[in-house]
Amino acid sequence: MRTVRVNLGQRSYSVIIGNGVYLRLGELVADRARSHRVLLVSNPTVFALYGDGVVNSLQEAGLKVVTGLVPDGEEYKTLEQAQKLIDLAVENRFDRHAMVVALGGGVIGDLAGFVAAIYQRGIDFVQLPTTLLAHVDSSIGGKVAVNHPRAKNMIGAFYQPKIVIIDPAVLATLPPREFKNGMAEVVKYGIILDEGFFTWLEEELEPIIQREETIIAEAIYHSCSLKARVVEEDETEQGKRALLNLGHTFGHAVETLTGYQQYRHGEAVAMGIITACYLAESQGMMNTGEAQRVRELQQALGLPIQLPRLQPELIMQTMHQDKKMLAGRLRLVLPQGIGRAVIRDDIDDGAVLAAINRAMV
Ligand code: NAD
Ligand code: GLY
């Protein structure tokens, strides 16, 4: 069992990583619980696999569990589903000492965290992520949100969990497409923060593709450590944290234009990363060889390396609606070689459009 600490003063917490640790959930949260009431939020897919183990573990620790199941899918990360979970908490007379436990991928984590943030102005919240994407990214850092029909993650808060419990063994049931989805975020950390990690990913490509347990656990630990350091430095995204959005402005536009249905978040991010690399190349921030390394690693991992054939102008227009816009200017995260990235708001639309066009062929 390994621990990554997220140091945020009174909001500090531990990220505990270990095979089999999900069955120790009750024991790990019981002494942090301020009452014995737990709202367990999950979806039917994940609950069928891990629900019994989690409920038993909580009950054995003396906690009383009410389960709220949300239909599976990004389209249910909505205010309507948040309202239903709040209804459940009210019906069951949950007070402000109750605790929300999120059991699932990023959709469940974001939604359950959002409910925890707003119910009675905030109740305790525990993340038990079950996808690779949630292990390496969404469960850490306290970004919680639901989608607006016209824009992703538009309604949300920064609200840190009390503990994050990561069990890499649960990835055994994760479909291949979801595994790749999470790898997009792992690759992202290498590009923006750590060239050595990027090189390690290139070197360990085969064991990663084979999903060898020790290698995947190492990739998770390293990713969590990198994310923790960024969140500590900039919890509410005033500066450095925005680097974690590499590829996201392009990616969110693709997700929005395809109705959140066609591409997984990580796939859209991977397309966005390639586009950002092309743009960085055109600005002299990345050389052709570096952009090629990113493309080759993503391709080897089975991630997209092209944008879908959407209208480039429409992608631009959608990017201009993204919440990462500031004072009407596009703010883009661009790699500066591999292992470093910067935020630029001075790139003209023509260059962005050219990179989008290049990423489509
Ligand atoms: P997801 O939550 O939809 O999970 C993907 C699929 O895998 C679902 O069908 C789910 O039921 C299934 N699943 C989950 N765990 C499983 C397991 N162990 N075995 C078998 N199936 C399993 O998708 P995701 O990629 O985990 O998360 C995407 C969401 O995360 C998006 O809404 C995105 O906006 C959000 N996100 C948030 C942050 C953040 O910082 N809060 C960061 C990145 C992404
Ligand atoms: N996934 C981006 C962030 O947590 O800031």
Question: Residues 37, 135, 265, 293: which is the catalytic one?
Answer: 265
Indicate whether residue 104 lines ligand 1 (CB < 6 A): yes
pLDDT at 4: 98
265 counts as catalytic? yes
Centroid of ligand 1 to alpha carbon of 79 (angstroms): 18
Mean pLDDT of the chain, nearest integer = 96
Q: If we measure between CA atoms, which residue out of 323, 319, 273, 326 comes closest to residue 298?
A: 273
- Is there a contact between 226 and 185 (Cβ–Cβ < 8 Å)? no
Distances (CA, A) of 37 to 31, 101, 215, 344: 13, 11, 37, 46
Q: If we measure between CA atoms, which residue out of 317, 324, 332 comes closest to residue 279?
A: 332
pLDDT at 324: 60
Question: Whose C-alpha lies nearest to ligand 1, atom 37?
Answer: 138
Q: How confident is the model over 281-301, as pLDDT tens digits?
A: 999 999 999 999 999 999 999
Domains and CATH numbers, the chain: 2-170 (3.40.50.1970), 176-359 (1.20.1090.10)
Minimum-distance ligand 2 atom for the alpha carbon of 242? 5
Centroid of ligand 2 to alpha carbon of 138 (angstroms): 7
Centroid of ligand 1 to alpha carbon of 104 (angstroms): 7
pLDDT at 329: 78
pLDDT at 323: 58
Question: Residues 222, 252, 264, 293: which is the catalytic one?
Answer: 252
pLDDT at 36: 95
Ranges in the chain, pLDDT < 50: none
pLDDT at 198: 98
Indicate whether residue 120 lines ligand 1 (CB < 6 A): no
pLDDT at 212: 97
pLDDT at 228: 98
Indicate whether residue 235 lines ligand 2 (CB < 6 A): no
Question: Does the global pTM surpass 0.85?
Answer: yes
- Indicate which ligand has the atom closest to the C-alpha of 113: 1
pLDDT at 325: 57
